[in-house]
């Protein structure tokens, strides 16, 4: 997505409750900057576009197939 970003220092973590609602936090490390994003999750779904890593983090947190509302997957 961005030039010179990504490494083993970048991360995505999903924090969800028993209703599969919460937040996904993603940190992207780059040589000249670091960016952190937080996106809400409601019932295992985010209304925002998700990267493959974010989808996997949610899947790991809830143990089910991730639904990307915009893409229907």
φ, ψ of residue 8 to 5 degrees: the values are -75, 0
Quote the pLDDT of residue 35. Answer: 93
pLDDT higher than 80, residue 4: no
Which residues, other chains included, contact 32 with Cβ-Cβ below 8 Å and sequence gap of 6+?
4
35-66 tens-digit pLDDT: 999 999 999 999 999 999 999 999 999 986 55
């Amino acid at each position: 997505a961005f030039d010179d970003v990504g490494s083993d220092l970048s991360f995505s973590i999903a924090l969800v409750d028993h209703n599969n609602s919460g937040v996904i936090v993603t940190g992207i490390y780059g040589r000249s900057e670091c960016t952190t994003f937080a996106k809400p999750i409601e019932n295992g779904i985010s209304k925002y576009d998700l990267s493959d890593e974010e989808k996997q983090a949610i899947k790991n947190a809830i143990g089910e197939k991730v639904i990307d509302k915009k893409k229907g997957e």
